[in-house]
Structure 1
Amino acid sequence: MSVPADATRSAAPAAPAPRAVPAVPLSRRSPAFRAAVPTVPWIAMYHSVGDCSEDPYRVTVSPARLDQQLGALRRRGLRGVGVAELLAARARGEGAGLVGLTFDDGYADFLSAALPLLRRHGCGATLYVLPGRLGGDNAWDPLGPRKPLLDADGIREAAAEGIEIGSHGLTHLDLTRVDGATLRAEVADSRAALSELVGAPVPGFCYPYGTVDRRAADAVRDAGYAYGCAIDPGPLTGPFALPRLHVGERDTPLRLSLKRRLHRWRRRPAEGV
């Protein structure tokens, strides 16, 4: 607070020091509050797109629901993109209207069901695949129907359509529970295999089951990836522990909007992205 010039005259008595006033928290709606609170990238996590009648793990979204969700995002002025594109835009200060769309496991229905809808709505995405299970199925799920996975040609087709291809490990193992040699193979060998398959660098990794610890995150960084996606990374922050929100068949446009609004308050800041 500035002091009036006449307050320094010797004839004037010294004014008592003002009492400290407790700071009043800014309203969460105020621009100052929003600017003061770091945000994490908003990244949606999908898996399979198809029939939801038998779906014990809630990993399937019907084409109709995905169409509805993507349409709702576009009506709000948002566009879905792959994670590498999202992070690059944020680094340039241009990511305000973008959300990340990710599809885990590399199900074959991505080409037949998800990709046409992404194209209809002008969206991109990242597809995380398992080069150790090309043309196989989701054998890691003890319950539920077997779902076919993309083969090498299918992954190349998705890449040719502009979809970012990322690694989900070689065989879908929980990296927090494997030994060092297996960890290196799942992380580094999968990147090498996919780079050769698509003829391009593979920028991103997605932790199977969404689980990550410091050792797994360090392995992803050391293997040359630019980022790593989890679900809820707990105390870990940064580009190798990016949180995501599960999106399922029950997520109506309203519910999806609420999830997006709550995302910044439920997650820790991701430093540097």
Structure 2
Amino acid sequence: MYHSVGDCSYDPYRVTVSPRRLDRQLGWLRRRGLRGVGVRELLAARARGAGQDLVGLTFDDGYADFVAHALPLLRRHGCGATLFVLPGRLDGDNAWDPLGPRKPLLSAAGIRQAAAEGVEIGSHGLTHVDLIRADDALLRAEVSDSRALLSEMTGALVDGFCYPYGRVDRRAVDAVREAGYTYACATGPGDLTGPLALPRVHVGEHDTAWRLHLKHRLHQLRRLHHRPAERV
């Protein structure tokens, strides 16, 4: 789980990875025989009983620096990714982060450019609202309207959703299912599990090769010992 790729000098929410660090992290994957791909491709491979050499890469929020910094590095390492964007904030910024810094978000043209270069486009909602706190009308708009807008924008079906702030509950899952998504990503989905509540590992600027290895192992152990109460 990545977010912004750029200047890390002031990063109170730990959402930024420098291009140099991302380059090293992608190189670390490739040296171990692994390849980063979008989540849709990863899930399709797993459904065929394959994909053991694949790692799902996601970039949340749709920052403009994805096209400027992340996309060239993904190309260099032969990797794909899923980019979760906010069609209700095109050309806007991350106003939901009160401490800043303000980071510009992609335009429609930037999203189409990423899609044209093979990046899977998914929805992060319309405007980055905490869906757990949203009323029914806002929840439907954030989940369903964002999918329709992105499909129109890219000319392709949008299969993936990413819960803002990584927060998810049964009500949000039901809205995502009703909107027609085939998978959805969270951060720590708690007792919810399955394709509409996929857990992810945060990757940041301080994640060296050793930290990546440790995070990977801890994530595997958490899922191994997890006993879900609900499957979604």
TM-score range, shorter chain: over 0.9
- Counterpart in 2 of 1:92? 48
> Cα gap change, 1:141/1:218 in structure 2, threshold over 3 Å: closer, same or farther?
same
Whole-angstrom CA distance in 2 between matches of 1:272 and 1:180? 22
Report if aligned partners of 2:62, 2:83 keep a CA contact under 8 Å in 1. yes
The one-letter code matched in structure 2 to 1:141 is D
Structure 1 Cα separation of the partners of residues 217 and 49 of structure 2: 20
If asked which structure has higher relative contact order (CA below 8 Å, sep 6+), I would say 1
Amino acid at match of 2:68: S
**CA offset at residue 272 of structure 1?**
8.9
- 1:109 equivalent to 2:65? Answer yes
**Cα contact 2:168–2:186 (8 A) shared by 1:** yes
1:210-269 deviations in Å (ceiling 9; x for gaps):
000000011101100000100000000110000001000010011101111121211337
TM-score, L = length of structure 1: 0.82
What does residue 83 of structure 1 align with?
39
Corresponding residue number in structure 2 for 1:3: none
- Corresponding residue for residue 208 of structure 2: 252
The residue type paired with residue 41 of structure 2 is E
* CA 1:272–1:214: 2 relative to 1, 3 Å: closer
Q: Determine if contact 1:46/1:59 at 8 Å carries over to the other structure.
A: yes
For 1:272 and 1:163, the matched residues in 2 are separated by 29
Question: What residue in structure 1 maps to residue 134 of structure 2?
Answer: 178
Report how many aligned residue pairs link the two structures: 229
Contact 1:79 1:98 in 2 (8 A): yes
Output aligned runs, 1:1-273, within 5 Å.
Answer: 45-267=1-223, 268=226
Percent identical pairs in the alignment equals: 79
**CA–CA separation in structure 2 for the residues paired with 1:261 and 1:96:** 15
Letter in 2 for 1:96: Q
Partner secondary structure for residue 113 of structure 1: helix
Superposed CA RMSD: 1.4
Distance of aligned partners of 1:200 and 1:176 in 2 relative to their CA distance in 1, 3 Å threshold? same
| Stretches of 4+ aligned residues off by more than 6 angstroms | 269-273
**Take 1:269 and 1:87, find their aligned partners in 2: how far apart are those partners?**
21
User: Which 5+ residue runs of structure 2 have no aligned equivalent?
Assistant: none
| 3-state secondary structure, aligned to 2:192 | coil
Considering only CA atoms, is the larger Rg found in Structure 1 or Structure 2? Answer: 1
Secondary structure class of the residue paired with 2:161 = strand
Q: Distance in 1 between matches of 2:227 and 2:23?
A: 30
> What letter is aligned with 1:47?
H
Q: CA deviation at 1:90?
A: 0.3
| SS across alignment from 1:175 | coil
Deviations 1:11-36 (A, max 9, x none): xxxxxxxxxxxxxxxxxxxxxxxxxx
